């Protein structure tokens, strides 16, 4: 687990950037094939991919900044300092959706059709991207000896428990056994290693990568081939990913918070409800 893939002099190529570059190019090729079946040219798909990528990045950053407005109000110069970290996937989804509607309106293309084409490549890209998070040692999970009664709580109490754990003498700490054998110890130079030095952690990014890949298989080989109304694939992606993110967030130690709850839990529930209503409306209208 090392963030740098290749270094030539002062030029550094990180695994994180490499993973997202691979995701982008594979995603475009898949989208071109699907788009061709829907009557869209490869030029349209390429232009749309660029718009969706930029709007998604802007949305992801803005979402993160808004949830940390106390810090960025005092440090406005750091708003554009994305190299210091600070992106949120739900913000990226919302930003990409806005970009999709703008591009669709400009090109007179149903934005739901564009979303259907993007859904499979997007969740596959998220799968690959999580390996970049692994290399960076970020999206840190909780220590593998954290009790499930602490992990699976809607109102997080991990840090409260962890503070208590650190006050215990070594003999009392020994009663907290590892619950899984696949915990990962991250370098102390990584975000995960700095927060939890020399401790095995739940590989939350790999949990999500595996579930994302299953979501991709379902979307690409089953859902998109069904005779559903246009837009069903896209909004189904929103539901699928929201369920995945809801589950994985239980194992993450660094989620954004809102109203004392994990922000991904709140946003996932909202998006599931909205998406379910839209899917019902689209397919009822079709029938």
Per-residue pLDDT reduced to its tens digit, 108-164:
999 999 999 999 999 999 999 999 989 988 888 999 999 999 999 988 999 999 999
Asked whether residue 130 is marked as a ligand-binding residue, the answer is yes
DSSP string for 167-225: TS-HHHHTTS--S-TT-BPPPTTSHHHHHSTT--B--HHHHHHHHHHHHHHHHHHTGGG
Tell me the per-residue pLDDT of 240-286, one tens digit each, with 9 for 90 and over: 999 999 999 999 997 778 888 898 999 999 999 999 999 999 998 66
CA pair distance 15, 18, nearest whole angstrom? 5
- Number of domains observed in the structure of the chain: 1
CA pair distance 207, 132, nearest whole angstrom: 14
Find where tokens 């109102």 sit.
Answer: 155
pLDDT of residue 90: 84
Q: How many angstroms from the chain centroid is the CA of residue 204?
A: 11
Q: Where are the alpha helices (DSSP H) in the chain?
A: 15-37, 42-67, 69-74, 89-107, 111-136, 148-151, 158-166, 170-173, 191-195, 204-221, 232-249, 263-286
**Which residue is it, tokens 């409306």?**
281
12 DSSP β-pair partners: 7
Backbone region of residue 86 per phi and psi (left: phi > 0; alpha: psi in -120 to 50; beta: other values):
left
Task: Indicate the pTM of the whole model.
Answer: 0.91
pLDDT tens for each residue of 184-231: 999 999 989 999 999 999 999 999 999 999 999 999 999 999 999 999
Model confidence band, residue 83 (pLDDT cutoffs 50, 70, 90): low
C-beta of residue 233 within 8 angstroms of C-beta of residue 286: no
Containing domain of residue 153, as a range? 4-286
Of 235, 232, 240, nearest to 284 by C-alpha is: 232
Residue 265 confidence (pLDDT): 94
pLDDT band at 287 (very low <50, low <70, confident <90, very high): low
């Amino acid at each position: 687990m090392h963030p740098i893939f290749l270094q030539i002099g002062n030029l550094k190529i990180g695994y994180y950037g490499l993973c997202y570059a691979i995701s982008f190019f594979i995603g475009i090729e898949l989208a071109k094939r699907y788009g061709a079946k829907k009557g869209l040219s490869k030029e349209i798909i390429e232009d749309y991919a660029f718009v969706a990528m930029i709007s998604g990045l802007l949305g992801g950053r803005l979402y993160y900044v808004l949830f940390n407005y106390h810090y960025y109000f005092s440090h406005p110069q750091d708003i554009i300092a994305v190299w210091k970290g600070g992106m949120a996937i739900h913000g990226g989804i919302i930003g990409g959706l806005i970009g999709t509607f703008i591009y669709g309106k400009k090109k007179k293309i149903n934005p739901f059709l564009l979303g259907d084409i993007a859904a499979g490549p997007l969740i596959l890209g998220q799968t690959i991207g999580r390996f970049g998070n692994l290399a960076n040692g970020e999206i840190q999970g909780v220590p593998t000896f954290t009790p499930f009664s602490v992990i699976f709580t809607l109102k997080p109490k991990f840090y409260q428990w962890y503070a208590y754990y650190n006050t215990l003498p070594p003999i009392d700490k020994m009663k907290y056994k590892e619950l899984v054998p696949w915990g990962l110890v991250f370098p102390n130079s990584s975000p995960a290693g700095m927060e939890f030095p020399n401790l095995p952690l739940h590989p939350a990014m790999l949990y999500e990568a595996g579930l994302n890949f299953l979501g991709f298989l379902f979307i690409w080989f089953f859902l998109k081939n069904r005779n559903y109304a246009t837009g069903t694939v896209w909004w189904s992606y929103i539901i699928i990913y929201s369920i995945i993110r809801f589950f994985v967030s239980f194992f993450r130690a660094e989620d954004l918070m809102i109203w004392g709850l994990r922000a991904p839990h709140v946003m996932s529930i909202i998006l599931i409800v909205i998406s379910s209503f839209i899917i019902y409306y689209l397919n009822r209208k079709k029938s």
